[in-house]
Structure 1
């Protein structure tokens, strides 16, 4: 019994000593990742200029069949040159067609009809395409629809060496190094939220010293959108409080977080 208690105590001490609060860049209280999926026109028309104006950096997850390609690829190059991340969102935005609200998934883009190896090849090819735009080899991945199985098999685990991190879990905050799983980082789906709700999320992160990731699609247009007013209210809050919020690309934030966690 004594040995069992000592062993349990050792596990408890190890668990408690390996957890450490994050120390964010510049003494910030929270690391804020703004991510924009699907390569939409509103992101180039409004979001990139709004971020640049305020000196904020974000991540844009651009599938190569996105609506802004190829006609606006020079604008994506300019966004990357300004410090924004072009994140991987696969070649063709394939998702599972199962479940409510997935009627839009076309049969040839249904992950349930594809092989894991096939999807892996597409994701790696998307990395090559993105590198041709920004010249970078370090980036992050957001699986479309956060689906990580193809044909009933996990396709994402084998791709981990290709990426710094995945945005791949439901909403939540990561508050210390022990909680950090770079390949299951939580993300808030923010469609329909107003400015006060968006600001409340980042303030919760600041209160806990956390990393927080927000997932946008359309801004003032297109699908799963928020209004421009709500988006600008959030950006204004982050810009006014740069000492408290480190707002940067997901790849930069996750490289920093992984270094702190020793992972």
Structure 2
């Protein structure tokens, strides 16, 4: 066994300067796309929301495009970087740009829960703020790739542009799917119904709706307990 050469799993094998706090932070930022993939799968399994499925499908398509573009352009990474593979465009920057822009478009233009006028206005600006935070986070991940010498600024910019184009294009496609009834048609398929896929997050604040159902259940439980105590006292 000692003579068998070992290989390193490069999926999360990030080089950084251990004496530089920013380099250490950048190494952790490099793991954000992997963490988001875990979040995607978790949300799909837990919520069964078709909008999350659509967003993840676009994310996978964006990654497939990056794979093709890298092998067409065939531009090397910075000379001081010891990693393998092509660097144009940056897959991290493209991944995060797509995620931030598509999520932002959803929050601002597609997500419309039924609220009062004042509540809707506040909720809208909260969504705008969340979209801005997502864009800042995506920018931080992109900059970290330059700081770690995995990409040049040009490769990062190309990745961001590709991700933004993918996000807008896929958001437009999914809008057409909704307008022409393809989403509803898909949700009525027996195979899709078997997995209990639904489309609530567009028109409903799932946190608020879940909280209201919980409160109603708690009130019924308290009322039942009071009625039981009253019957015993009688």
Structure 1 length normalisation: TM-score? 0.21
| Structure (1/2) with the larger strand percentage | 1
Q: Which has the higher contact order (CA 8 A, sep 6+)?
A: 1
TM-score (norm 2): 0.23
